[in-house]
Amino acid sequence: MQSFKAGMVWLGIVGLSVGLTAGIAVAEPADSGGAKSTEGAEMVSVATTEGLETWLGGFRQRARAAGIPETVLNDALTGLHYDEDVIRRDRSQSEFTKTIWEYLDTAASDARIANGRAMLREHAALLDRIEARYGVDKEIVTAIWGLESAYGTFRGSVPTIQALASLAYDGRRAAFFEGELLSALKILAAGDTVPARMQGSWAGAMGHTQFMPSSFLTYAQDFNGDGRRDIWGDDPADALASTAAYLAQSGWTTGAPWGVEIRLPEGFDYALTGERVEKPVTKWQALGLRTVAGGDLPEQGPASVLLPGGAQGAAFLIFANFRVIERYNTADAYVIAVGHLADRLKGGPAIETAWPRGDRALSFGERTEMQERLIKAGFDTFGVDGKIGPNTIAAVKAFQTQIGWIPDGYPSLRVLAKLRP
C-alpha cells in the first residue's frame, strides 16, 4: 500500500488505520441520486454473485494446486456472495483525505491516551514479556493496537473470505487480493481459526492489530502456547506478540526513539528536508538543529528532517525506527501518530509547534491536477495517480525553489494555485 506523504493521509480501509495495508476510517458517503429500483438492485446482485461463483470455480483449481485441502475449500467458499458494499468502499476510498493535524487530533486524543495507559496497566505482565522476547517497546506495540482497533474494541466484522473473494473477482487489484485470499485459506488449513471467526475489515485486515493474511503467515505468533495463532479472539496476546515480531523482524532497534520534535534555525536550508536526505546527528547538530525544548539531539545514527505540515508546522528528526514503523503502514502521518502516541503513553509531552490549521487537504482531483501541472511545468512526478509520494514531493520542492518559495515540498492549495495559469 502506498499512502500519502507530506501531511495528507489517505482515508482508507478500516478502523482508525489498517496495519500492513492502509489509512484512516471515515464514514462512507451516502448514496445519492434519489430512489433506486429494488428490483434492479436485486438483479445486479444476482448477476454478480453468479459471476463470482463462476470465478470461484477457476480459483478452486488454483487453490488445489497450491495445496489447499478440499475440505477447507468447501467450508470456506461454499455459499459466498458478491459483496457490493466491499466493492463500493474499495472504489470510493481515494477521494478522502485528512491533514496530519486532523488525524493526530483523533489518533493521539486524550481518550486514546487514557485508554492506552489503562491497557498498559491491565496487560502489564503480558506486554513486559512481549517486550523482553522481541525487543520492541511495549508502548509502541500498544500504540499500534490503539490505532488499529481502539485496543481491540473495533476489530472488524466483515467476513474475510467473502470480502477477499469479492475483491479478487472484481478485478481492480485482482492479483493482490487473490494472493491474500489464498493466504487466508492457508490460515484455515493450518487450523488457526475457522471461517466464521475469520472477520475483519472490508479489505481483509484482521484482528486486534489488523494483519493481512499474507503478513499473518509470515509474522503471526502463538504467544500463549495454545497451539493456535489467534489474533481474532478477546485475548490480545497472540496479536500483540505478532505485531512485535513484525517490527522486530523489520529491524527494530531496542530502546531507540522513532523521532523527536525539533526546532530549525534561522536561515535553514529547506532543501535538506525529506526522507531522502540523511545525515549523522552530529551534522544536524552542527547545522543548528535542536530539540523543540532547546536541548541537544539524541545520538541515534543517520537521521532525516521531516516536515509533515510544511515549513509552518512541526518539524521532526526521524531515525531508523521511523522506517521500521513505516513497514507496517507507509503513511508518514500514521508513523508519527504511532510514535507520538507511544511517547504520550510514556508520559511525554504533546507536540509543541502549532499546525497551519487554516489549510485543508487536497482532494483526489486536486492532487492529480497538481501532478499534471507539475509535469507540464517541467517537474516530473513520474506518474499521475493522486498519491503524494517522494517523487511528487521532490517535484514540489523543485518548483518552489524555482519561484523563490521555501522548498518544504508541502503540496498545499497555495502551490496548486501558483501552478494554475
Residue-wise pLDDT tens digits, 193-204:
999 999 999 999
Rounded to an integer, what distance in angstroms lies between the CA atom of residue 41 and that of residue 50? 14
Q: Give the side-chain half-sphere CA count within 13 A for 379.
A: 22
Instruction: Round to whole Å and give the CA distance between 267 and 289.
Output: 11
Q: Give the pLDDT of residue 40.
A: 33
Same domain? 49 vs 164: yes
User: Which domain-ending residue is among 221, 249, 277?
Assistant: 249
Could you tell me if 51 and 62 lie in one domain? yes
Beta strand extents in 27-161 (DSSP E only)? 97-99, 158-159
Question: What confidence tier does 95 reach under pLDDT thresholds 50, 70, 90?
Answer: low
pLDDT, tens digit, 9 for 90 and up, residues 98-115: 899 999 999 999 999 999
Confidence band, pLDDT 50/70/90 cuts, at residue 24:
very low
Note whether residue 359 is domain-resident: no
> What is the pLDDT, as a whole number, of residue 96?
58
Neighbour count for residue 120 (Cβ, 10 Å): 17
> Does residue 280 sit within a domain?
yes
Alpha-carbon torsion angle 138, 143, 145, 149, nearest 10:
170
Q: Which of 46-60, 133-147, 334-348 has the lowest mean pLDDT?
A: 46-60
Per-residue pLDDT at 202: 96
- For 311-338, the DSSP string reads TTS-EEEE-HHHHHHHHH---HHHHHHH
Total residue length of the chain: 421
- Assign residue 118 the CATH number of its domain: 1.10.530.10
pLDDT over 90 at 231, yes or no: yes
**Are 134 and 22 in the same domain?**
yes
My answer on whether 2 and 135 are in the same domain is yes
Is residue 10 pLDDT above 60, yes or no? no
Confidence of residue 152 (pLDDT cuts 50, 70, 90): very high
Among 249, 272, 293, the domain-final residue is 249
Q: Is 259 helix (H, G, I), strand (E, B) or coil?
A: strand
According to the model, what pLDDT value does residue 171 have?
A: 79
Domain boundary among 189, 220, 249: 249
Q: Note the pLDDT tens digit of each residue in 71-80.
A: 999 999 999 9
User: In this structure, is residue 274 part of a structural domain?
Assistant: yes
Q: Say how many Å lie between the first and final Cα of the chain, rounded.
A: 34
Element (H, E) at 75: helix 70-77
Residue showing cell 514479556 = 129
B/e letters for 294-324, b = 16+ CB within 10 Å, e = fewer, are eeebeebeebbbbbbbbbbbbbbbbbbbbbb
SS3 category, 200: strand
Burial 75-102 (b: 16+ CB within 10 A, else e): ebbeebebbeebbebbeebbebbbbbbb
Per-residue pLDDT at 97 = 79
Query: Residue 383 is part of which domain span?
Result: 364-419
pTM: 0.89
Asked if 206 and 57 sit in the same domain, the reply is yes
